[in-house]
Amino acid sequence: MRQYTIMIIEDDVSIGDMLEEALKKEEYAVLRAYSGTEALMVLEKNKPDLILLDLMLPGLSGEELLPKLKGILTIVMSAKSDIDSKVNLLLQGASDYVTKPFVISELLARISALLRLSASKNTSSQDENILKAGEIELDIDLLSVRIGKEEAALTRTEAAILNVLMANSGRPVGRSTILDRISEDTPDCTERSLKQHISNIRKKLQAIDGIDHIEAIYGIGFKFNES
């Protein structure tokens, strides 16, 4: 199981020590910074999964630091309890807000919930870029196709074409339809070169499992067959 890293940006040593102890008991890795400036130096070499950010920091304040933490889950810790302060910080990029003094069990629950939600979104995002048809798996981002344990690399144009064909597995797809669907990502592909690209895809797939998965349909286009 993956170990998450939490960064504590807090100038109060006793509060920071208490947070570090509680986090390590939950088996999180911990980074520490005692000012906004020091936090930026630490972040140049590390990217934590989540940051606990105090607002009242020496030098660069938490409010000034927050916009620089884009892309990292951040829970703001502050004595400010008014609604306007909370709303403004959330609008500036904070993921959550806890008012000091806080109950450590509640903070740990908020941390766990944010990390779980983030992991779920990342998995969904990855799944959207992987297309499966039978035993065949196409990874759009990695430009590769896998059958069982064997894998073949694809060009960007080949991956775009195979994506269209696999998405319509078992159904003929016209040449013009293929070209239209891939035009945004691969505008260099023409009707003349399409045939060659498909020939290359067929050879790569056939080299893996010995099956010709793409069938030419006379007068129409091509059809992808899972087996």
Q: Where are the domains of the chain?
A: 5-128, 130-224
3-state helix, strand, coil in the chain (%, to 5): 45, 25, 30
Q: Does the pLDDT at position 51 exceed 80?
A: yes
Q: Which of 66-70, 78-82, 135-139, 144-148 has the lowest mean pLDDT?
A: 78-82
| CA–CA separation, 36 and 59 (whole Å) | 7
**Residue 206, SS3?**
helix
Nearest to 88 by CA among 76, 104, 103: 76
Q: Does the pLDDT at position 125 exceed 50?
A: no
**What b-and-e string marks burial along 190-205, b requiring 16 or more CB atoms within 10 Å of the CB?**
eeeebeebbeebbebb
* CA end-to-end span of the chain: 36
Total Cβ atoms within 10 A of residue 1: 4
Strands 5-9 and 130-133: unpaired
State both tokens at 184.
């945004």
| CA–CA separation, 65 and 194 (whole Å) | 51
Nearest to 14 by CA among 26, 39, 32: 32
**Domain 5-128 grouped into CATH 3.40.50.2300:** yes
pLDDT in tens, 148-185: 888 899 888 898 899 999 888 888 989 888 988 888 76
Report the length, in residues, of the chain: 227
Cα 83 versus chain centre, distance: 31
Task: Tell me if 5-128 shares its fold with 130-224.
Answer: no
Can you list the pairs that 193-196 forms with residues at least 24 positions away whose Cβ atoms lie under 8 Å? 194/161
| CA–CA separation, 161 and 179 (whole Å) | 8
Cβ 208 vs Cβ 150: under 8 Å: yes
Burial class (CB in 10 A: 0-12, 13-18, 19+), 60: middle
The answer, as to whether pTM is greater than 0.85, is no
∠ Cα 42 45 46 (to 5°): 75
pLDDT in tens, 71-109: 889 999 988 766 666 677 776 778 888 888 889 998 999
Looking at CATH, the fold of the domain delimited by 130-224 is given as Arc Repressor Mutant, subunit A (1.10.10)
